[in-house]
Structure 1
């Protein structure tokens, strides 16, 4: 009998679905790199899954991949036509307007006007009419090449900012784009990045606060608060936190439960389902334990007082793995602020302004975004490193200290 895989079944199934969704445009190694596994591991999972009937998504109707693709394409075309400012040509100036008329645009800079017309009227006459000095005009002409170089450099910076903004699905604002530029070796001021984004109308996503949906079980005995709003840790696997959020899919709902390592902000366990039974949170904690190699004795897991987290089944799973439960107060989002902040960022970057209709597609997009968050998204609390980079730095520093 072969060795049991350390990865949960849900993770393996979603990884296979992510590879197949690429339609052969991405290699095993490229998809596996986003998930933190090897390409050969992913290849093995796909090979084992070949020929199996795709499981019907919970609560959804079964359909062939071709039918699902056709439906998604039709939905995309409908949204492009219905969404204001998205359709091709939306916002273009009217034909024949001054934007397209030759010579219609007038330069707002007087020095540029003087440079263009000095041969016809003479520098002295133009300076007298505009009330400026001739020395300023000559200085402007002498620095023309330097200005052109600055404009070219600025255009290159704006192009790189647009590329980073697009690579991260329009979610990054000035701080994270600045961190990404610095990691690429470009020396640029953060305020300059903000200014270039502002004048070029490049904006990250923002989301309004949403109300909490925790349903407390008043009959169950709560666990003590071992965190007391101190969401910091210097060592991995000492403090975790988690919560549940909801995602609207058509006329129904899907639910996501997460487990986050407070030290590195990495999502080490998650589960997606169309119900809020206790299995949702126990599956997430089991995945987190497997991701950390099974040795998590003594770790503190902080949650709210939702019915799933105070249930007897969840308490038994925590007891079996040596996990110490911690709970905040009822009705106080600040007592679980880190998990609340994570869900707010996820909904802002992935779900804001979208109307999801397919449960299978929603599950795939959530899985893809969580992999992106762990390995590519820069985190402000980590000095704009990604959670995976931060953990690697911690492990390297610990190894060097042991050698020393």
Structure 2
């Protein structure tokens, strides 16, 4: 960062390596070596844990203040316990499943709605994230795309530094806009994916189930239960792998995939749909996409 920020700009450097600005400034303002005061404090904490291995931070705190004769903020103590990995071993695994996880657990075995489906075009879609290595393999990004099971058409995609909800919603906004431009209603269509935390999050479920009134389908055996998107990843990386690796920045990588999926949708022949392109398979209804908006590039 220090070598390149003056020439490239701090924001561009942070985006390139996927580092939040808050983390950058935190690291700059905190030395890797603990202070003498902190070392003494942690030695005392270790003594307390050795004598009382069942103590959590609430019981450690008064004991620590009594032994050191100084006030210690509870947030500081919790941070130190985490940083020195002293709190994890004593904490019981009391994680309780979220309501969504409980519902999905109760419905196990019936979550996959597309396993035996022979869908019409634009009836059911598959999606997932895939990791990308670019800048000669030194940097990492994530791609999310949505593919139609019936026509192989890809109505939306997005590239970003993290495979998170923000990237998922960027991709989905593009899907929504493209299908709306085709005059396609989203309600009752199916979106299929794995049980990744993004796809079980409230934000994703609220958008798909309540805003768009679609149906959600889950693969219960990972990639094996989602062959459509895995096939897309395999073909894409095999055909443009060198262009992905050679992309020098995140904007350049986004341009690579904008060009790829335009070609994929309009020109690339697919054996599973009669050796024609998804555009041709769908027919003249895709003429409205002649000037389709480049949401991914703009993002």
TM-score, normalised via structure 1 length: 0.42
- CA distance in 2: counterparts of 1:241 and 1:58, whole angstroms: 32
In the superposition, relative to structure 1, how do residues 350 and 335 fare at CA in structure 2: closer, same or farther (>3 Å)?
Answer: same
Which of 334, 342, 362 is the aligned partner of 2:224?
334
- The equivalent of 2:28 in structure 1 is none
Q: CA deviation at 1:387?
A: 0.3
In the superposition, relative to structure 1, how do residues 354 and 300 fare at CA in structure 2: closer, same or farther (>3 Å)?
Answer: closer
Q: CA deviation at 1:306?
A: 1.0
Which of 257, 270, 276 is the aligned partner of 1:366?
257
* Bigger radius of gyration: 1
Root-mean-square deviation (CA, aligned residues, Å) is 2.6
- The equivalent of 2:15 in structure 1 is 59
In the superposition, relative to structure 1, how do residues 263 and 291 fare at CA in structure 2: closer, same or farther (>3 Å)?
Answer: same
Which of 204, 214, 233 is the aligned partner of 1:323?
214
Q: CA deviation at 1:58?
A: 6.7
- The equivalent of 1:85 in structure 2 is none
Q: CA deviation at 1:361?
A: 1.6
Which of 285, 290, 297 is the aligned partner of 2:172?
285
Which of 123, 130, 143 is the aligned partner of 1:256?
143
Q: CA deviation at 1:57?
A: 8.4
- CA distance in 2: counterparts of 1:334 and 1:307, whole angstroms: 18
In the superposition, relative to structure 1, how do residues 58 and 238 fare at CA in structure 2: closer, same or farther (>3 Å)?
Answer: farther
Residue 376 (structure 1) aligned with residue 267 (structure 2): yes
- The equivalent of 1:385 in structure 2 is 276
Q: CA deviation at 1:395?
A: 8.4
In the superposition, relative to structure 1, how do residues 256 and 57 fare at CA in structure 2: closer, same or farther (>3 Å)?
Answer: farther
- The list of structure 1 runs, each at least 4 consecutive aligned residues, that deviate by more than 4 angstroms after superposition, is 55-58, 393-396
- The equivalent of 2:189 in structure 1 is 299
Q: CA-to-partner distance for each residue in 1:368-395, whole Å, 9 max, x for gaps?
A: 1011100010011110100000001688
Q: CA-to-partner distance for each residue in 1:272-310, whole Å, 9 max, x for gaps?
A: 111122111122122111111162111010001111111
- The equivalent of 2:239 in structure 1 is 349
**Unmatched 5+ stretches in structure 1:** 1-54, 62-217, 397-404
Q: CA deviation at 1:359?
A: 2.1
Which of 144, 159, 163 is the aligned partner of 1:272?
159
- CA distance in 1: counterparts of 2:272 and 2:157, whole angstroms: 21
Give the 5 Å matches for 1:54-93. Answer: 56=12, 59-60=15-16
Q: CA deviation at 1:355?
A: 3.0
Which of 227, 237, 252 is the aligned partner of 2:122?
237
- The equivalent of 2:45 in structure 1 is none
Q: CA deviation at 1:258?
A: 0.9
Q: CA deviation at 1:360?
A: 2.2
User: 1:305, 1:329 within 8 Å by CA — same for their partners in 2?
Assistant: yes
User: 1:233, 1:239 within 8 Å by CA — same for their partners in 2?
Assistant: yes
**Unmatched 5+ stretches in structure 2:** 1-10, 18-96, 288-299
In the superposition, relative to structure 1, how do residues 333 and 277 fare at CA in structure 2: closer, same or farther (>3 Å)?
Answer: closer
TM-score, normalised via structure 2 length: 0.56
User: 1:231, 1:262 within 8 Å by CA — same for their partners in 2?
Assistant: no
- CA distance in 1: counterparts of 2:179 and 2:192, whole angstroms: 17
SS of residue paired to 2:185: coil
- CA distance in 1: counterparts of 2:282 and 2:13, whole angstroms: 34
User: 2:143, 2:160 within 8 Å by CA — same for their partners in 1?
Assistant: yes
User: 1:242, 1:259 within 8 Å by CA — same for their partners in 2?
Assistant: yes
